Amino acid sequence: MARIVLENLRKSFDRTEVVRGINLDMEHNEFVVLVGPSGCGKSTTLRMIAGLEEISGGQIRIGDVVVNDIPPKDRDIAMVFQNYALYPHMTVYDNMAFGLRLRGVGKDDIQVRVRDAAEILNITELLARRPKQLSGGQRQRVAMGRAIVRNPQAFLFDEPLSNLDAKLRVQMRTEIKKIHQRVRTTVVYVTHDQVEAMTLADRIVVMNAGNIEQVATPQEMYDRPATRFVAGFIGSPSMNFVPCRVERQAGGMSVRLGEDLTLPIPDERAARYDSHVGRELVFGVRPEHLTDKRAHTGDGQVDFFAKVEVLEPMGMDTMVFFGLNGVDVCARSHPRAAGEVGRPMGFTIDMHQMHLIDPRTDLVL
């Protein structure tokens, strides 16, 4: 079990730089998720940690050892891929035992390790089967078992659930979290799915265009995104962004969203935004903080009306879309409180949950 440290890590393919000098410190036994859109550099970073991709610059440390020039087989890590990569002619037991046999581990020790891993993964009854007799979720468990038996310093997961259907992905997320709670090992997990990142991670690393945008716990990243990219990427549905202007009024400060709507800024935020009065900014609010009109439970909650343009029933919620200062905005409504398309509807916005973004830097103020 080891700490993994990346220092000014870079990777270029010819003249194209895909990882741009990132720094990251992953603690012993921590579950770290690298998340971001396709092409952001997350899988390349994972492959460099594994030794499957040569680095262009910087340093990788696993434990106390710089592993830049150490081959993958000697880095004492185990990797689980999107493709299960099981040997079709071998039983589940033999697939899990194969790597140990290559390393000269004794037969009795192999049996103990495989049985223990199978018990953790709840696949003991599958040990005599071959991969073609298994479901997708069972095959993924076998791939994970093959990694667990090695007792490595770290597990590396490269989008391991992307081949599974939606229901099975949810189930496997829970299983992976349970496994990490039992097998306390450093985990570096790559996904493009922000829900996976939020549910699995001790800390999330959001990557964009080869850079790290923010590193934080899931709740910190949800509550206090550092950039517009993070604010829009984390959370589902994604955050609404509306052009705005901060104004000073007799009773305090407000944010103007077009000609017809001005919302008061909570007093405790006034000092933060004071230097931005009169500037063109971007107002951000999540759909769950913009709801059907409700009884107020505290200050900072403001009512307004807007004409409903689209309704998307989701069962326990209905997503209500309307126009605000030239952009489409999404609100999360109780199904029975959602209005009718083409008619005005009352909304309540929680201004304590607002964000202001500088469009010149894309930083959250």
Provide the pairing of β-strand 154-158 with 77-80: parallel
Which CATH fold topology does 240-364 show?
Answer: OB fold (Dihydrolipoamide Acetyltransferase, E2P) (2.40.50)
What would the pLDDT profile of 250-268 be if each residue is shown by its tens digit?
A: 778 899 998 889 999 998 8
pLDDT of residue 52: 93
Which of 129-143, 230-244, 304-318 comes out lowest in average pLDDT? 129-143
**What does the DSSP assignment read for 202-247?**
SEEEEEETTEEEEEE-HHHHHHS-SBHHHHHHSSSSPPEEEEEEEE
On the question of a common fold for 4-233 and 240-364, the answer reads no
Picking from 159, 141, 143, 147, the residue whose alpha carbon sits closest to that of residue 185 is: 147
Q: What CA–CA distance (Å, rounded) separates 191 from 81?
A: 11
What would the pLDDT profile of 173-188 be if each residue is shown by its tens digit?
A: 888 888 888 888 899 9
Q: Is the pLDDT of residue 247 over 80?
A: yes
User: What band does 240 get if pLDDT is binned at 50, 70 and 90?
Assistant: very high
Q: Is the pLDDT of residue 1 over 70?
A: no
Q: Is the pLDDT of residue 15 over 70?
A: yes
Q: Count the neighbouring beta carbons within 10 Å of the beta carbon of residue 166.
A: 7
What would the pLDDT profile of 70-109 be if each residue is shown by its tens digit?
A: 999 899 898 888 777 889 999 999 999 998 998 888 999 9
197 CA to centre of own chain: 3
What would the pLDDT profile of 100-141 be if each residue is shown by its tens digit?
A: 998 888 999 999 999 998 988 889 999 999 999 998 888 888
The domains of the chain are located at 4-233, 240-364
Question: What is the average per-residue pLDDT within 332-356?
Answer: 94
The pTM (predicted TM-score) of the whole model is: 0.90
Question: What is the average per-residue pLDDT within 236-245?
Answer: 94
Tell me the pLDDT of the chain averaged across its residues. Answer: 91
pLDDT of residue 137: 83
The secondary element (H helix, E strand) that includes residue 263 is: strand 262-264
The secondary element (H helix, E strand) that includes residue 345 is: strand 344-350
DSSP 365: -
Which CATH number is associated with domain 4-233? Answer: 3.40.50.300
